[in-house]
Amino acid sequence: MHLPPIIASCLTVAFVVFLYRRDIRERPNVTGALWIPLLWFLLMTTRAVSEWLNTFGLHAGAVTVEEGSPLDAGVCFVLIAAGLYVLHQRQASLLEIIRNNQWLTIFLLYCLVSIVWSDFPFVALKRWFKVLGHPIMALIILTEPDPLEALTRLMKRCAYIVVPVSILFIKYYPQFGRGFDPWTGAAANTGITANKNALGYDCLILGFFFFWQLLQTLPRERGKPRRNELLLTGGFLMAIWWLLSMAHSSTSLVSLFLGVLMVVILGLRFVNKRLIGTYMIAAIVIYVLAEATFGISGRVIELLGKSPTLTDRTLLWSELLKVEINPLFGTGFESFWLGERFQKFAESRWWQPNEAHNGYLETYLNLGLVGLFLLVGLLIATFWKSRRELLTNFQFGRFRLGFLTAVIVYNWTEASFRALHPIWFVFYIIALDYRQPEFDSFESIEAMPPGERKDLVYAGDEIDAKSSHF
């Protein structure tokens, strides 16, 4: 059934209002400060303020590659300042943050130092300051009374806007929700975002969250609250699957599949949570052998209907590796795609690339081998944090491991370790540790398999773990 656009718009607005009212009436254990990271997240998962104004015919000022948009910079500054104020009021300890997140701290400090050798130091400094908003917003979530509830509400409230409005734009307002693929020139669905890849990674993030939420909802006691939550979660999963099919983003699809697979595997009774590191090493060895013997990645690419060059990505990678840069230190924080280097690639390709479409290569170009080493160290450190979390807070632990898996895979053909990318923001949520005075460990242990439920030590107290697996 195809409704008149104005009717569809009214129904969409009413649906969004209903969802937000339902959310607030549930009286979640979160503070009003959560709206700050939500606004930050929404601007990344939809469009920047200047893009929204331009979408509706309002000129928002000049936007350049080097300077960006003054309006967007102002909005980021206000949100970051508000986030810092909240953390100050909560007396968040900087020493505690550094002590618990040493790899992340070193990585960010190295990014700051690399500005010294950038050809555009002022631009690089502004970009570094924007990225600093990610850990600030993540810390607001982690310092909420119930961090897990805060994460859940953040994702839901974002989805309440992104998913229904994307469907509305694609079906009823093609001038807003459709565009052209910069790689092929073919028509593409963008939804509430600026391009199809952005719609793809929105679906990756939200699809992963709602699947994880589904696994948490299923074991609850039967009743109206459980039924309503299952209807909400199932409905959003179907809507997100439709949007992902419309986005035709193979990278997001594969990353989502592997992230979900990790979550499912961690929930199996026979999987020993203490041996996750061993399992991961075994999986990597098996993949390397399969790749060397059968060329498994090429077969997967064929199944996805992609060309062997990954839509010219491999050609771009080979050219980027030929560019003369300092191999140890790179060109400086987020400085490669500026000036003459950007112009050179923009003139050679009609789609004007502004990233390497590989997060690891992108890091190398900007930060050199030193930066790439620190990034890999950060990923490994996040893995071990997530592994430890499985033994104390099982649900959040498998969220962290599952999403980390998706991030690592996603950055093979896209670059999300950069700028105001929503995947980079969610990565900070799973990468950061911040001690809470008290944490309700019983709910976490309830979700663990029976074989894993033992007397655990958390915050210095022994916990008598009991209850049943999902």
Best CA proximity match to 453, nearest among 466, 440, 434: 466
* Lowest-confidence region among 74-78, 146-150, 312-316, 373-377: 312-316
C-alpha pair distances (Å), 210 with each of 76, 222, 234, 450 = 28, 19, 8, 24
For the residues 295-310, what does the mean pLDDT come to?
Answer: 67
Q: Looking at residue 469, what is its pLDDT?
A: 32
Between helix 276-294 and helix 296-303 the angle, nearest 10°, is 80
pLDDT score recorded for residue 1: 64
CA distance 59 to 297: 45
Phi–psi pair at 180, nearest 5 degrees: -130, 135
Largest CA-CA distance found in the chain, in angstroms, rounded: 65
Q: Are 168 and 3 in contact (CB under 8 A)?
A: no
pLDDT at 442: 37
d(CA 42, CA 165): 12
Looking at per-residue pLDDT, the higher value among 95 and 465 belongs to 95
What is the spatial distance between Cα 166 and Cα 177, in angstroms, rounded to a whole number? 7
Mean of the pLDDT values across residues 278-295? 77
Rg (Cα) of the chain, in Å, rounded?
22
Residue position matching structure tokens 């618990």: 100
In this prediction, residue 230 carries a pLDDT of 95
Pairing label, strands 456-458, 461-463:
antiparallel
Q: What is the mean pLDDT of residues 123-127?
A: 95
Name all contacts of 379-382 with Cβ < 8 Å and 24+ positions apart: 379/404, 379/407, 379/408, 381/102, 381/103, 381/104, 381/431, 382/427, 382/430, 382/431
Instruction: Give pLDDT tens digits for 25-71.
Output: 998 999 999 999 999 999 999 999 999 998 888 876 656 666 678 89
In a 3-state reduction of DSSP, which class is residue 64? strand
pLDDT value at position 464?
Answer: 33
Q: Quickly state the pLDDT bin for 444 (edges 50, 70, 90).
A: very low
Q: Are 204 and 410 in contact (CB under 8 A)?
A: yes
Is the pLDDT confidence value at 14 over 70? Answer: yes
Q: What angle do CA 172, 178, 180 make, to 5 degrees?
A: 160
* pLDDT at residue 24 tops 80: yes
Q: Strands, DSSP E only, in 106-241?
A: 178-180, 187-189
The whole-model pTM stands at: 0.89
pLDDT of 236 above 90: yes
Looking at residue 294, its pLDDT comes to 67
Residue whose structure tokens are 């080097």: 66
pLDDT, one tens digit per residue, over 267-276 is: 998 888 888 8
What's the mean pLDDT in 263-292?
A: 83
Q: Can you give the pLDDT at residue 244?
A: 96
Given a contact cutoff of 8 angstroms between Cβ atoms, the answer to whether 23 and 175 are in contact is no
Mean local confidence (pLDDT), 430-439: 74
Whether pLDDT at 467 is above 50: no
What would the pLDDT profile of 188-228 be if each residue is shown by its tens digit?
899 999 999 999 999 999 999 999 999 999 999 999 999 99
Q: Token match 């649900």: residue?
A: 395
User: So where are the chain's domains?
Assistant: 250-436
Residue 421 has pLDDT above 90, yes or no: yes
DSSP type of residue 311: T
The pLDDT of residue 62 is 58
* pLDDT of 184 over the 70 cut: no
Phi, psi angles (nearest 5°) of residue 132: -60, -20
Q: What is the pLDDT of residue 282?
A: 84
Count of Cβ atoms closer than 10 Å to residue 205 Cβ:
27
When the pLDDT of each residue in the chain is averaged and rounded to a whole number, the result is 87
The residues, ordered by sequence, that sit 6+ positions from 136 with a Cβ below 8 Å of its Cβ are 80, 83, 84, 87
Tell me what percent of the residues of the chain surpass a pLDDT of 70.
85
pLDDT value of position 466: 32
Integer Cα distance of 274 and 49 in angstroms: 45
Query: How sure is the predictor about 278, in pLDDT bands with cuts at 50, 70 and 90?
Result: confident
Name the band, by pLDDT with cuts 50, 70 and 90, for residue 386. Answer: very high
Token digits for 44? 């990344």
pLDDT of the residue at 373? 97
Q: What is the pLDDT of residue 302?
A: 66
Statement: residue 441 has pLDDT above 60: no
106 or 342: whose pLDDT is higher? 106
> Please, what is the angle between helix 102-113 and helix 359-390, to 10°?
160
Residue 276: predicted pLDDT: 86
The span from the CA of 314 to the CA of 310, in Å, is 6
- Does position 353 have pLDDT exceeding 90, yes or no? no
Q: Per-residue DSSP letters for 380-424?
A: HHHHHHHHHHHTT-HHHHHHHHHHHHHHHHHTTTS--SSTT-HHH
Q: Is the pLDDT reported for residue 462 higher than 80?
A: no
Query: Residue 367's closest CA among 342, 333, 336, 317?
Result: 333
